[in-house]
């Protein structure tokens, strides 16, 4: 089951590399899998404040283009049953791999 933030609340939300979870993933190229986001000092609740959403579990992977540059970060939030596991990590990495050419193409326009 998939749930998304409705409306434009999160549209265009950007972070600098090295800050927040997404920025850390972008700068280190490492996957982050958190059981409780608010307990991790890298987590910034600013988007939760804007959207009224409460992030609990969080899984984030880098999106890497064909030449090896990190061009984004793909996140999944709040798995319905329990924490994210290795299968979820593999699935999100696969989605990021498939999404990379689309993101790279759209950023050139």
- H or E element in which residue 63 lies: strand 58-64
Residue 5 falls inside a structural domain = no
Q: CATH number of the domain that 73 lies in?
A: 3.30.450.40
Domain that holds residue 57: 20-107
Going from the C-alpha of 90 to that of each of 11, 50, 73, 94, the distances in angstroms are 26, 30, 15, 6
Residue 37 lies in a domain: yes
Residue 3 has pLDDT above 50, yes or no: no
Q: What does the pLDDT look like over 32-65, one tens digit per residue? A: 999 999 999 999 999 899 889 999 999 999 999 9
Inter-residue contact 57 to 81 (CB < 8 Å): no
Domain tally for the chain? 1
Q: What is the pLDDT of residues 65-97, one digit of tens each?
A: 999 999 999 999 999 999 999 999 999 999 999
Please report whether residue 8 resides in a domain: no
**Residue 95 · residue 74 · CB < 8 Å:** yes
pLDDT digits (tens, 9 = 90+) for 90-106: 999 999 999 999 988 88
In a domain, 51, yes or no: yes
Indicate whether 10 belongs to any domain.
Answer: no
Cβ proximity of 39 and 56 under 8 Å: no
Q: Is the pLDDT of residue 1 over 70?
A: no
Q: Is residue 44 part of a domain?
A: yes
Asked if the structure places residue 3 within a domain, the reply is no
Residue 101 resides in a domain: yes
């Amino acid at each position: 089951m998939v749930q998304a933030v409705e409306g434009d609340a999160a549209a265009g939300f950007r972070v600098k590399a090295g800050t927040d979870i997404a920025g850390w993933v972008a700068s280190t190229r490492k996957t982050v899998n958190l059981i409780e986001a608010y307990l991790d000092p890298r987590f910034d609740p600013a988007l939760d404040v804007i959207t009224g959403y409460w992030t609990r579990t969080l899984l984030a992977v880098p999106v890497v283009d064909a030449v090896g540059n990190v061009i984004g970060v793909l996140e999944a939030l709040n798995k319905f049953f329990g924490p994210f596991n290795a299968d979820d990590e593999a699935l999100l990495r696969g989605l990021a791999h498939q999404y990379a050419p689309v993101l790279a193409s759209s950023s050139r326009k």
